[in-house]
Amino acid sequence: MENKLPTIKEIAKQLNISISTVSRALHDHPNIGIQTRMRVQELAKRLHYEPNQTAIFFQQGKTFTIGVILPELSEAFFSSAISGIEDAAQKANYTVLMGQSHDSADKEKQLIDTMKKHRVDGLLISISKNTTNYEHFEALQSYNIPIVYFDRIPKIPNIHYVACNMINGTVQAINFLFKKGHRIVGMINGPEKLPATKERLEGYIQAMTKSRLKYDPALVLNCDLTKESVCAATEKLLSGRRRPTAIVTFNDYVALDAVQQAQKMKFKINKDVCFVSYANLPMSNYTAFPPLASVEQFPYQQGQKATETLIELLQQKTGDEAETTNATFYKIILESQLVIHEGK
Amino acid sequence: MENKLPTIKEIAKQLNISISTVSRALHDHPNIGIQTRMRVQELAKRLHYEPNQTAIFFQQGKTFTIGVILPELSEAFFSSAISGIEDAAQKANYTVLMGQSHDSADKEKQLIDTMKKHRVDGLLISISKNTTNYEHFEALQSYNIPIVYFDRIPKIPNIHYVACNMINGTVQAINFLFKKGHRIVGMINGPEKLPATKERLEGYIQAMTKSRLKYDPALVLNCDLTKESVCAATEKLLSGRRRPTAIVTFNDYVALDAVQQAQKMKFKINKDVCFVSYANLPMSNYTAFPPLASVEQFPYQQGQKATETLIELLQQKTGDEAETTNATFYKIILESQLVIHEGK
DNA sequence: GATTTTCAGACAAACGTTTGCATAGAATTG
DNA sequence: CAATTCTATGCAAACGTTTGTCTGAAAATC
**Location of each CATH 3.40.50.2300 domain in chain B:** 63-164+299-335, 166-296
DSSP-assigned beta bridge partners for residue A140: none
Kindly determine whether residue B50 and residue A117, on different chains, have CB atoms separated by under 8 Å.
yes
Alpha carbons A227 and A233: distance in angstroms, whole number: 10
Strand order in the sheet with A220-222: A220-222, A185-189, A246-249, A274-278, A293-296, A337-340
CB B338 within 8 A of CB B179: no
Query: Which residues of chain B have a CB within 8 Å of the CB of A74?
Result: 76, 79-80, 83
What pLDDT shows up at residue A296? 96
Q: How far is the CA of B29 from the C1' of C7 (A)?
A: 13
The conformation of residue B240, written as its DSSP 8-state character, comes to: S
Kindly determine whether residue B96 and residue A100, on different chains, have CB atoms separated by under 8 Å.
no
CATH number at B63-164+299-335: 3.40.50.2300
Nearest nucleotide by C1' position to the A55 CA atom:
C16
* B95 Cβ under 8 Å from any chain A Cβ: yes
Kindly determine whether residue A79 and residue B74, on different chains, have CB atoms separated by under 8 Å.
yes
The residue among B1, B2, B49, B54 with the most chain A CBs within 10 A of its CB, best to mutate, is: B54
Segment 227-286 of chain B within 8 Å of chain A by CB:
256, 259-260, 283, 286
Mean pLDDT, residues A222-233: 95
DSSP-assigned beta bridge partners for residue B276: B248, B293
Task: Answer for A47: CB within 7 Å of strand C.
Answer: no
Alpha carbons A41 and A20: distance in angstroms, whole number: 14
Min Cα–Cα distance to chain A from B281, Å: 11
Phi, psi of B332 (to 5 degrees): -105, 125
Phi, psi of A102 (to 5 degrees): 50, 35
Distances (CA, A) of A123 to A119, A320, B33, B120, B130: 10, 20, 40, 20, 33
Alpha carbons A134 and A128: distance in angstroms, whole number: 11
Task: Mark the nucleotides of strand C covered by protein, meaning any atom under 7 Å from a CB.
Answer: 7-20
Spell out the long-range contacts of B320-329 with Cβ–Cβ below 8 A and sequence spacing 24 or more.
B321/A2, B324/A1, B327/B158, B329/B158, B329/B159, B329/B160
**What's the one-letter identity of residue A277?**
S
Cβ contacts below 8 Å, chain A against chain B, sum to: 107
Min Cα–Cα distance to chain B from A284, Å: 8
For CA atoms A77, A79, A83, A85, give the dihedral sign: positive
Kindly determine whether residue B96 and residue A98, on different chains, have CB atoms separated by under 8 Å.
yes
Q: Which of residues 28-87 of B touch strand C (CB under 7 A)?
A: 30-37, 58-59, 61
Distances (CA, A) of B137 to B113, B114, B126, B147, B248: 10, 13, 12, 8, 33
Strand order in the sheet with B160-165: A331-335, A160-165, A147-150, A122-125, A65-70, A95-100, B95-100, B65-70, B122-125, B147-150, B160-165, B331-335
Residue with more model confidence, A316 or A178: A178
HSE at residue A200, side-chain half, CA atoms within 13 A, is 28
Kindly determine whether residue B95 and residue A116, on different chains, have CB atoms separated by under 8 Å.
no
Distances (CA, A) of B110 to A65, A88, B13, B155, B254: 16, 15, 45, 20, 29
Position B140 confidence tier, pLDDT thresholds 50, 70, 90: confident
pLDDT in tens, B38-68: 999 999 999 999 999 999 999 999 999 999 9
CATH number at B166-296: 3.40.50.2300
The candidate with the shortest Cα–Cα distance to A47, out of A94, A98, A11, A92, is A11
For CA atoms B46, B50, B51, B55, give the dihedral sign: negative
Q: How far is the CA of A304 from the C1' of D11 (A)?
A: 45
Q: How far apart are the first and last CA of chain A?
A: 65
Task: Answer for B19: CB within 7 Å of strand D.
Answer: yes
Phi, psi of A246 (to 5 degrees): -150, 145
* B175 Cβ under 8 Å from any chain A Cβ: no
pLDDT in tens, A94-111: 999 999 999 999 999 999
A152 Cβ contact list (under 8 Å, min separation 6): A71, A126, A127, A128, A129, A194, A195, A196
Residue B2 pLDDT exceeds 60: no
3-state secondary structure of A264: helix
Residue A151 pLDDT exceeds 90: yes
Query: Which residues of chain B have a CB within 8 Å of the CB of A63?
Result: 54
Q: What is the dihedral of CA A203, A204, A205, A206, to 10 degrees?
A: 40
Residue B325 pLDDT exceeds 60: no
Residue in A closest to B287 by C-alpha: A287
Position A2 confidence tier, pLDDT thresholds 50, 70, 90: very low
Kindly determine whether residue B79 and residue A83, on different chains, have CB atoms separated by under 8 Å.
no
Kindly determine whether residue B3 and residue A256, on different chains, have CB atoms separated by under 8 Å.
no
Position B142 confidence tier, pLDDT thresholds 50, 70, 90: confident
Nearest nucleotide by C1' position to the A6 CA atom:
C16
Task: Answer for A17: CB within 7 Å of strand C.
Answer: no
pTM: 0.90
Mean pLDDT, residues B245-268: 95
3-state secondary structure of B60: helix
pLDDT in tens, B206-256: 999 998 888 999 999 999 999 999 999 999 999 999 999 999 999 999 999
